[in-house]
Chains A and B, each alone.
Chain A
Amino acid sequence: MNGRSSREGMSVIVKTVTRWVEGFILLYGIYIVLYGHLTPGGGFAGGVIIACAFILLTLAEGQRVASKTLNPAVAAELDSVGALIFLGVAVAGLVVAQVFFKNIIATPEAAQFHLFSAGVILPCNIGIGIKVGVSLFLVFAMLSALHVTVRQDGKRDLVRRGKDES
């Protein structure tokens, strides 16, 4: 949806700046997740940054644009996918090496300090990043839906209104 035509959200200035900054915040979050085993950061911090990117979108452009970008139903699925990646890595250690959480991918000396170095830590970080980011975004989406319910007392809540118009 074109930001200019939508009446929801904040002013044009905020929307324009959001459109410029949005991608960079998301990129930074992904970088923090991927390089968590080499530089400060990791799945948690990166996941929260990713959630912040979507929350910025929700605040600036309004609930409807944000839920078009990342549908809450899809987000709920992604939440479980992230948790399952993490658990799957742990169970893979059990299957391959008979030890839960065994680091099954050995790191040769030459590969140290490179992106693909730390064995199962990288997929673990990715799983946690997806999980944390998506679940925090979900909570915020729920909170802001309720927020409208309370403020416009008497009118219908946002969940309902979105359904009517779409």
Chain B
Amino acid sequence: MSELLIILLLLMIVGALVAIETSNLLSSIISVGAVGFLLSIVFLFLGAPDIAITQIVVEILVLVVLIRATISRDLTTITGDRELFGMIVTVAAVLAVAVLSVHMFEQFPPFGVAVMDRVAGAPSTTYLEQGLAKTGAANIVTAILLDFRGYDTLGEATILFCSILGALTILRRKARKKQAEADKESESA
């Protein structure tokens, strides 16, 4: 089981490296799609079908939006990195954090032992025991999402609403301006 996960994770890392390092924008987007689909498979193996379904449909939507946004642009491949200094600093910082976090990784519970097993009276155990009786929902994840922790979902819906509203505003203003320009041109002509 854990060997399978390691193989899938290594594939994900390869996909991510290709996505970041390739010069063609379209193949970069397709590689990130591959990473997302592999992640969905990993979720399925980890006993999270809810997340797997959501991840796979979200990934499809992300791919369509990204391709739609970039494919008609001139795919002039912008190669090269920003600055050599910034790159060196980044790599050094990431390596330093990695070295420092070796100690942290040792303190994690071994893989396969859930956090709720190590903490007595963890809320997750309560949810599993009483979720069906208290909410009537057989899917405990949904019970948590919409009943036990409804506030979280309300905040999440608010964030989604705001971000979509922001995206629409950014895109719409341009369209309106173009339309106004077109109107002006047709009047003068």
Q: Which residue numbers of A lie inside 8 Å of B, CB to CB?
A: 32, 36-45, 48-49, 51-52, 55, 59, 79, 83, 86-87, 90, 100-101, 103, 106-107, 111-113, 117-121, 124-125, 128, 131-132, 135-136, 138-140, 142-147, 149-151, 156-157, 159-160
Contact = CB atoms under 8 A, between A and B. Distances in A.
B160 A138 contact: no
Interface of B: 49-50, 52-54, 57-58, 60-61, 64-65, 68-69, 72-73, 132, 134-139, 141-143, 145-147, 150-151, 153-154, 157, 160-161, 164, 167-168, 171-172, 174-175, 178-179, 182
Nearest to B56: A45
A139 B168 contact: yes
Nearest to A93: B150
Given A107-B135, A111-B136, A142 B157 contact: no
B57 A131 contact: no
Contact of B68 (A32, A103, A140, A157): A140
B68 A112 contact: no
A138 B168 contact: yes
B161 A41 contact: no
A40 B136 contact: no
A38 B135 CA distance: 12
A48 B57 contact: yes
Contacts of B141: 42
A136 B143 contact: no
Given A52-B60, A52-B61, A119 B182 contact: no
A113 B132 CA distance: 9
B139 A112 contact: no
Nearest to A148: B72
A146 B136 contact: no
B179 A140 contact: no
Given A90-B150, A146-B174, A139 B164 contact: yes
The 10 closest A-B CB pairs, nearest first, are A107-B136, A101-B150, A40-B49, A37-B137, A118-B137, A142-B171, A135-B164, A48-B57, A118-B136, A45-B54
B61 A48 contact: yes
A146 B175 contact: yes
Contacts of B65: 139-140, 143
B135 A119 contact: yes
Contact of A37 (B52, B61, B143, B160): B143
A151 B50 CA distance: 39
B160 A42 contact: no
Contacts of B182: 156-157, 160
A157 B138 contact: no
A83 B143 contact: no
Contact of B138 (A38, A41, A79): A38
Nearest to B58: A48
Contacts of A111: 136
